[in-house]
Amino acid sequence: MRLELFDDLGETVPLEGPPSRVVSLVPSLTEAVEVSAPGLLAGATDYCTHPSTVDVPRVGGSKYPKLDRVLDLRPDLVLANSEENRPEDVARLRANGVPVWVMAAAATVPAALGSLRRLLTQAYRLDEPDWLVESEEVWREVAPVRFRAVVPVWRKPWIVLGRETFGGDVLRRIGVANVYDHDPERYPRPDIEELRAHFTADADLLVLPDEPYEFTADDGPEAFPGAPYALVSGRHLTWYGPSLVEAHASLTAALEGP
């Protein structure tokens, strides 16, 4: 039964039926698929670490996957993301006859969950997984603002969460406003002096995730002397999928320290 579907970017995803050999180029989508439909993954990136039961051939990183290795796996669907994967890689896979589903870079939790629902129920023909329904309930409310934060995701150079990011919406829903939320860029690159100045103006919290840059108590806080900080799970902050069920409680607990 041929399925004529469209991904988040409106591109056609021609499937002959529900996919059974899937290569995921996005760690969070790897987790979502493996938890929802175990056994369908034929390949994943080197960074697809969850769930721990995933035991499939690896195809390199998200930004620079080894496309020949992907093609050798003969996938009937490849999963990608508009922010994490390069358009030229998606184009090459499609030129080789491989259907690719590209998920848009979601700006909010509801948008991410809505996209995952379409993928799982339309492409895979699954019922809504319990984790998705529970995540929608857990993240439905937006808490009053308790902190105004600077949220670096990289250093050397410093890169922070800016406007319309999934991580920014996650934090806002647990009561943390991002001081760069109205910046023209989604991922601004301010210098360290500008970042420090926020802590005498409009910020009272530094949020440091452990990915993509692995901030620790000894790597990150020392650049902001005297600033209250919270170390949080980067997976809980930036992954959309089953981890959202536990992310709300985990992130909220991490904020109790300041």
**Spatial distance between the Cα atoms of 162 and 169, rounded to a whole number of angstroms:** 11
Homologous superfamily of 3-137: Nitrogenase molybdenum iron protein domain (3.40.50.1980)
Q: In terms of CATH, what superfamily is 142-254?
A: Nitrogenase molybdenum iron protein domain (3.40.50.1980)
Residue 24: pLDDT band (50, 70, 90) is: very high
Q: Where are the alpha helices (DSSP H) in 37-74?
A: 67-72
Q: Any idea where the domains of the chain sit in the sequence? A: 3-137, 142-254
Q: What is the mean pLDDT of the chain?
A: 95
Q: Are 145 and 175 in contact (CB under 8 A)?
A: yes
- Say if 3-137 and 142-254 have the same CATH topology: yes
pLDDT at 257: 63
Q: Which of 52, 62, 100 is nearest to 238 (CA)?
A: 62
| pLDDT score, position 4 | 79
Cis amide linkage into residue 51, ω under 30° from 0: yes
Distance CA 156, CA 153 (A): 11
- Tell me the percentage of the chain whose pLDDT exceeds 90: 95
